[in-house]
Structure formats: C-alpha cells, structure tokens
Chain A
Amino acid sequence: MDFRLSEEQEALREVARDFLAARWPADKMRAALDAQPALVDDDVWKEIVEMGWLGVAAPEASGGIGGGVVTAAVLAEEAGRGILPGPFLSSLTAALAAESCGDDVLLGEIIEGRSRVALAVEEPGGSWGPDAVCLAATPCDEGWSLSGTKILVRDGQEADVLLVVARAPDGLALLKVPADVPGLARNRMLLMDGQSASELVLEDVRVGSDARLGGGEGGLLEAYEKATVLCAADLLGSAQASLELATEYAKERVQFGRPIGSFQAVSHRLADDLMKLEIGRSLLYGASLALDDRRENASALVSAAKAWLNEAAIAAVESALQIHGGVGFTWEYDVHLHMRRVRCNVACHGDADFHRDRVASHMDAALAAEGSGP
C-alpha cells in the first residue's frame, strides 16, 4: 500500500517543470493566438525527445523508461501547467496507443522522434469516443479501403502517420495511414487555445493489410482510455497553476486596507477549488494506476477522473479570472491561456455528462453482479 508518486516520479516532475518554465515561455503561446497555431520550437522538441519523454510509459524492452500510465500522467500534468503545445501530448498519446495495440516498431519510431504520429478518433456527429466512430474500413485487394471524416485530430497537420480508428466488418480497428497517401485531405482546424488540429477527409484511401494494428478492440479501447487520462492530467495541471496564481494574487492584492485573500468570499472559494483539485488528483492517479494494473474498474475510474476534472478545472480557472479582477482579464496576463486550454480539454475526449453516463453503465453492471435486493 503506497499510493504516492515515487522519488523518481517526483524528480521527473521537477525536471519537467523547470525545463518547461525555462524553455517554453507563455508569451509564445500568446503569440500563437494571433498567428499560426503553436508548436514547440524544433530545438525544444529535440530536447524533449532526447530526454525520453515520449517513452515515459513504455516498457524498457520497447525502448521506454517503463513508467507506465502513472508517470505519463505526471508529464501530461506538467504540460498542462506549462501551457506546452504540440506535438508532445499528441505524440505521447500515440505512443500509448501503439503500445496498447502491440506495435513495437511504430512505438520505437515515436519514442526516437523519427516519426510524428497523431491519433484520430473523433468524428462529426456531436459525440466522442470509439462507440461513435462511423469511418468505414472495407477489405479490398491491397488490404483496406478507408472512407469517412475525422475531426479535432491534435497536431494532425504536422503528422507523418495518422492512427485512424475505423469500423471494420469484424469490429473497431486502428489503422496506420501515411499522411501523403492519395485520397486523404487534411484541413487545419484552429483551436481556441492556439494549438493545432486537423480535419481529415478520407475518400477511398487504400492501405495494406499490415496497416491494421493488433490488440483487437480491447487494445483500441485501452488506447482511448489512456488518451482520456492524459487529457484529464493536462486539465489538472492547468487548474493547479490557475489556483496557485489566484492564491498568490489574493495574498498580495490589497483592497479596503486588507489583502483580498482575508475575505471569506475569496478564501472559501479558493478552499473549495483546492478541495476539488485534491479529489481530482486522487481520481487521476487512481485511474492511471488502475490502467497500469489492468483493474476491472479502470475504465469507470478514467471516466470518473475526466468527468470530475472537467468541472473542477473550469471552477479553478474561472475563480482565477474572477479573483484577479480587471488585471486577470487582460491579454498580457496568463489566466486566459489556462482558461482557453481548459476549455479545449473539457470538450476533448468526452464532456462530464458523457463520462457520467459511462460510469452509470459501469454501475448497472457492477450492482447487477452484486445482486439486488432491498
């Protein structure tokens, strides 16, 4: 029984935090809101790859660090805190997907930075997740023919390979699609936080039969759970940073002759935000560990973490904006950068009701198994 991060994990967190604070100033993110979507500079990206961050979860045998989802969540949290744009999280998400679906070659290429890979799940239609996938994978002479549309593919515009979730005759499938394949059109979708995403339109795109990853539907669903957990970790990082900004400001800002943090309307709001984030932190690492340990309630815990952090993070960034007053509402201040990122992540991989419905389905099964009776 030890539900604490290890010394190594805490050390990695510190390294990541210092590195991002030094190498990725928030001003670059601000600039991206008016110009091209933000991607980290090539030299920063190179260092991130060299530090092995993309292999943080993968087993050592596959060229990774062997930290599992828990350690990946630590880095995703720091990316959220540091307002780090792509392609770090999209690449880490793709690495976890390659691992879940047993493609060691692709995993190695991602970890070593030889290939930029983006996971394409969501489609038009207003919902989220593999269940809502319509994009068809039809068997053909070469292997597979793919037709359909993907949206909100993070860093899809810059990817060399797209990991496309499709519906094959025998169930959901994950297929590798080279970015330059005929029949694939990529259109940029600008995100409100300055990050890059794509719409992919596939019209009879042909890929070989070896393009389909293994692991079956189970591997694919696991990949989506991991993507969701990283998104939740990102939310926690932004929210925690916002809470800290607001708390520091409340200590310093004097009105009516007192620091505003001494007023209960302010301090109780921050105490509530802290409470929500501590619950969210507990759920996030509980869900990450459950994925690593392959517990049967892992998917319900993932949904719990995402549903909870969606709402807790919004509360924290809105408090930060409100407590900073007019200053917080300026372009130069960082609060809106966190708010934009949180607003994007909240709508990414399922909103709170989407995940509450998934938890309710889990309860249906769990309580039926328990046997009902008054």
Chain B
Amino acid sequence: MDLEFSAEDEAYRAKLKVWLAENLGGGKGSVNELMKSATEGGNKDPLAGARVWPRKLWEAGYVGLAWPKAYGGQDASFTEQVICAEELAKARTPPMINTIGLSIIGPTLVQHGTEEQKKRFLPRILRADDLWCQGFSEPEAGSDLASLRCRAELDGDSFVVTGQKVWTSLAPISDWMFLLTRSDPDAPKREGISYLLCDMKTPGITVRPLRNAAGGMHFSEVFLDQVRIPRENLVGELHGGWKIARSSLDHERSGLSGVLALEETLGRLWRMASQIDRGGEKAVEGPTTRRLLAQHWIEIEGLRHLGYRTLSDQIAGAAPGAGSSVGKLFASDLRSRMARTGLRIEGPLAQVAKRSPHVIDRGRWHAAYFDALGHAIGGGTSEIMRGVIAEKVLGLPRATED
C-alpha cells in the first residue's frame, strides 16, 4: 500500500497550481478582469461573463480530463483527474456553469453517443458554448423514474414529444436538454423508454421556474407540447434509454474533491466555535462541541480513505468494490450533519434571518442546511440509494416487483 502520487503527478500538480495562481489573481489578463470586461461593450450574451472561466480552464487543458482527445478532452490518467479536481476545489474559483454537461450528458455521449453526436456536442460542452439541463423526473415519476410518461412518437424522421418534466435545474438558461421519454407505451416500463437530446429553442417548450424551499430559483418545470426532435438526436437504441440513464448515474467517482470541500467546511465550523461564546467559555472548549467536531474530522478522514480505495481500483482497472457505492450516500449524510452542527454552534442566533444584519457568517449555515437536505433528495433520494446498496452490494431481494 502507498498513498503517494508519482513524481510526474506531483509535477502536474505544481504546474496547475502555478497556472491557477497566475489566472485567479486580480491583475491584467486575470479571469476576474476578463469576466468584467466580457459583459461590457454591448455584448448581448448575458452569460458571457460566466463563460469566461470554464472556457479559460478548458483552453489550459483542465476540463474534460477523462474524455478522448478527439473530442476536445485530455485522455488524462485517473490520478491527474483527481489532482486537478483537488486543486480546483482548493482554489477559490468562479463557478462552472456547464457542470451538468461535463458531469452527466458528456460522459454519457462519450460512452453511448454516435460519432456525429460526439463531434457535434462534446466540444461545445467543453467550451461552455452549450449549457445542458436534465429532463428525467416527472410529477408522477420521481423515485420510480421508470414509470415516466412523457410521450415520444416517431413520425417520419422525428419524434413528437409531449409531456412534463420537473425539478429541471438551470432550465431557463440551458441551450439543450437530455430527456427520457416513453416511446413504447405497450412494452414493460423499463423497455419502452428512449433517451433524446432536445434543443431548448424548439417550438412547443415552456419553462416555468419554481422557487425552492431555500428561496432560490434553481429548478423549473418544463412543459413539452408536440415538440419535434430529429431522430438523429436519439442516444443509443430506440426504446433502449433506461440502461443508458442508469449508466449515467453509475459514473463512479472517488469523491476526493468533495472531501476537500468538507474539510474546508470543518475548518469554518472550528473557527466559528472558537469565536462564539457558550456558557462562559468558547463553544469549542465545551466537550459536546469538541466531540462533535472531532467526529466530523473522523468522518471526513473515513470518506477520504474510502476515496483512495475507489481511486486505487480505478487505476488498477479493477471492478469498483463495495466501498465506492456507499461514498455518495455517506457524503450526502455527512453534509447534512455538518450543516446541523453549524446551526448548533450558532446557538440562539441560529434563529436570525439571512438578511438581518445580526446574522452570523452571512447566513452560511442556513444555506448549507437547506442545500444539504436538498442534496439528500436530488439525483436519487437517500432511500433509493440505500435500496441500491442493499440490492447490488448485499444481494438482498428487491423491495418492489418490477
């Protein structure tokens, strides 16, 4: 066993750090400068500023690391992928607006797309030319996703799609949506689903933003009324969309970059607890808070070492072990626990609204709390994930019939 990165890997890390330092500063030619100037001078693209960072990062070779070079990727090793994700997580970078494209539809097209689809879509995802949203969930198809009803009928060279999608993140600013449709209503429910790519400018699409429990406007309802999608935008086989959707949920990651974010959160918790008074001493001096924070340190180290196991399996080309399937669930639970700890350390002041001047840490812990609870629902609820672990790893019988 060893947990050292090779000299080549460390050289890669050093080069990336230098690049980040040069580009994230405030000087001339820096990303901040470019983002400001992008929206000046009558540029009609309201997202021009937001595209600066992902594009710059791609030009430098730090986006699409796992993708083939032929489509603008880097064909990078697993260790380079991890190092890149780690360093980006450590640096205070602007947000990536093309995350859904990079993390879900991109890898799906790499694996299942036609040559034309790969050439057409992948480079535009990498450059943040196209932003994507996901059309999976429906009002009657949440955890039971395979019961979706959005209808796709083949009419000549195109599908005619009618139905409703919901919880669609970033729909109003997206250029494209990948969606699951019911193409054969008579087949068993998992065998009549087709995976389609839809231009959001096609007539018949209505997007209605929904306000979420935290007050934000991150997701929307999307209504499709007789929307025509060319047949060439079918991914994989006709009626074969279910397996592709499942595989896109299976893109296992070591989760090591997420560990760095949790580590930073723990540092914040510790500093807050060192400053806040609790019963005549600083909160961090009380045994309850100390042990709670120590427990988070333990949990983060557990997740980090679990990530090393997953990464090692990937490097060795071995089938992912039991560990990789539990990392996502554990990380999601841990985020919630740490957000709760934040509110607990705030004590009585945890009641104060974010927009009140009395709020601690600009309301960070309220936001983190809602965010964490949302994460336990989105992209597969924790209950569904426990069911998957029970079935796939422990081999227990399914809870449902189908």
Identify the A interface with B (CB < 8 A).
1-6, 70, 247, 250-251, 258-259, 261-264, 266-268, 270-272, 274-275, 278-283, 285-286, 289, 293, 300-301, 303-304, 307-308, 353, 356-357, 359-360, 362-363, 367, 370, 372-374
Contact = CB atoms under 8 A, between A and B. Distances in A.
Contacts of B140: none
B256 to A, nearest CB: 11
Contact of A271 (B5, B298, B323, B386): B386
B58 interface: no
B270 A271 contact: no
A273 to B, nearest CB: 9
B5 A363 contact: no
A285 B274 CA distance: 32
A247 B306 contact: no
Contacts of B297: 300, 304, 359, 362-363
Given A2-B1, A278-B326, A279-B299, A247 B394 contact: yes
Given A258-B397, A304-B298, A282 B305 contact: yes
Task: List 5 A-B pairs, minimum CB-CB distance, nearest first.
Answer: A282-B305, A267-B390, A279-B302, A286-B305, A261-B396
Nearest to B389: A271
Nearest to A286: B305
B116 interface: no
B387 interface: yes
Interface stretch (B40-48, B180-188, B307-315, B350-358): B307-315
B383 A264 contact: yes
Chain B's interface size range is 35 or more
B36 interface: no
Among B3, B290, B299, B305, chain A packs the most CB atoms within 10 A around the CB of: B305
B14 interface: no
A4 B291 contact: no
Contacts of A289: 1-3
A363 B308 contact: no
B317 to A, nearest CB: 12
B389 A261 contact: no
A261 B397 CA distance: 6
B160 interface: no
A5 B2 CA distance: 10
B2 A272 contact: no
Chain A binding surface SS class: helix
B79 interface: yes
B341 to A, nearest CB: 13
Contacts of B75: none
B319 interface: no
B295 interface: yes
B396 A262 contact: yes
Contacts, number: 166
Given A3-B3, A357-B291, 4 more contacts: A2-B312, A280-B302, A356-B290, A372-B274
Given A304-B298, A370-B267, A3 B398 contact: no
Contacts of B271: 367, 372-374
Contacts of A286: 301, 304-305, 308
A282 to B, nearest CB: 4
A283 B312 contact: no
B390 A271 contact: yes
A359 B295 CA distance: 8
Contacts of B60: none
Contacts of B290: 356-357, 360
A25 to B, nearest CB: 26
B293 A4 contact: no
A278 B399 contact: no
A1 B274 CA distance: 36
Interface in B312-330: 312-313, 315-316, 318, 322-323, 326, 329-330
B214 interface: no
B280 interface: no
B399 A4 contact: no
A282 B308 contact: yes
Among B5, B79, B294, B306, chain A packs the most CB atoms within 10 A around the CB of: B294
Among B287, B313, B386, B398, chain A packs the most CB atoms within 10 A around the CB of: B386
B316 A308 contact: no
A356 B294 contact: yes
B303 interface: yes
A367 B397 contact: no
